[in-house]
């Protein structure tokens, strides 16, 4: 049997909001095949639906229409919308914790936990949690990889933005996800930290992690294997450059 090259396939996926009875299609019937190991950059003007599409792909938002197929697991879609809405949060968060890593523009670290504890956090959501010592060891190794060994006991408030984002990258990798999603990951960073964060993400991509990034930065589009251009919630074009 031929191996499936696609990691994730969405068909006709939409997210619809209502404001004073006016329908806003934040994402409008998007079709997308995400191939294993590729880097996709989501591109488009403010309000075009980049973040919404990214959150749909990451199951942080539930689609109102369409189907969502991750590897062999049908998680959402019109045919199985009941499934995603009845799937308990614990099951969905376990799927997410195992398969998907997230990086956000504002880092989203837990303020009352140290860098090390933040990196260890995703391991708590696994169905079969690993021993604490093993989790700690991996977290320490990941913090070393992002050059944060000397800040492991620091709280987020004691770190610079670039350092916080490096901790967030380590956290995203905790459970060895196959998909890394990032929403403007360098949007708040100066150019030195921008370069460092992009380089770390490229390294993960070279190691085989599939990457999808929403960004306004042309450099992030240049790196991409494919640029998905959005306009008014629709996929306008899929190209190799902007």
Closest CA to 197 of 155, 147, 154: 147
What secondary structure letter does DSSP report for 152? T
Under rule CB under 6 A, residue 26 binds ligand ATP: yes
Site string for ligand ATP, 32-71 (x = CB under 6 A): ------------x-xxxxxxx-------------------
**Residues 193-222 interacting with ligand ATP (rule: CB under 6 A):** 214
168 CB-contact burial (10 Å; exposed 0-12 / middle 13-18 / buried 19+): buried
Under rule CB under 6 A, residue 185 binds ligand ATP: no
Selected binder of ligand ATP within 5, 17, 127, 219 (CB under 6 A): 17
Q: Tell me the closest approach of the beta carbon of residue 48 to ligand ATP, in angstroms.
A: 4
Under rule CB under 6 A, residue 156 binds ligand ATP: no
Q: Tell me the closest approach of the beta carbon of residue 81 to Mg ion, in angstroms.
A: 25
Q: Tell me how many residues contact ligand ATP (CB under 6 A).
A: 13
CA distances from 221 to 216, 217, 242 (A): 8, 7, 7
Closer residue to Mg ion (CB): 15 or 50: 50
H or E element at residue 81: helix 81-86
Distance CA 60, CA 221 (A): 24
Closer residue to ligand ATP (CB): 201 or 214: 214
Q: Tell me the closest approach of the beta carbon of residue 227 to Mg ion, in angstroms.
A: 16
Query: Strand runs (DSSP E) across 87-167, as ranges?
Result: 100-103
Closest CA to 14 of 76, 73, 75: 76
Residues that bind Mg ion (CB under 5 A): 50-51
């Amino acid at each position: 049997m031929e191996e499936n090259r696609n990691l994730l396939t969405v068909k006709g996926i939409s997210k619809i909001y209502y404001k004073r009875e006016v329908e806003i299609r934040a994402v409008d019937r998007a079709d997308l095949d995400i191939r294993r190991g590729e880097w996709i950059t989501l591109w488009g003007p403010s309000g075009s639906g980049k973040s919404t599409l990214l959150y749909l792909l990451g199951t942080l938002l539930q689609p109102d229409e369409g189907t969502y197929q991750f590897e062999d697991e049908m998680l959402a879609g019109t045919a199985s919308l009941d499934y995603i809405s009845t799937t308990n949060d614990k099951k969905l968060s376990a799927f997410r914790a195992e398969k998907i890593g997230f990086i956000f523009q504002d880092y989203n670290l837990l303020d009352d936990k140290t860098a090390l504890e933040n990196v260890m956090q995703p391991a708590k959501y696994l169905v079969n949690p690993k021993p604490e010592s093993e989790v700690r060891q991996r977290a320490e190794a990941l913090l070393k990889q992002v050059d944060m060994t000397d800040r492991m006991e620091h709280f987020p408030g004691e770190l610079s933005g670039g350092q916080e984002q490096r901790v967030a990258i380590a956290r995203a990798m905790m459970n060895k996800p196959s998909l890394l999603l990032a929403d403007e990951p360098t949007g708040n960073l100066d150019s030195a930290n921008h370069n460092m964060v992009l380089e770390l993400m490229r390294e993960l991509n070279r190691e085989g992690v599939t990457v999808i990034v929403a960004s306004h930065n042309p450099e992030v589009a240049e790196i991409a294997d494919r640029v998905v251009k959005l306009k008014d919630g629709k996929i306008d074009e899929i190209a190799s450059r902007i």
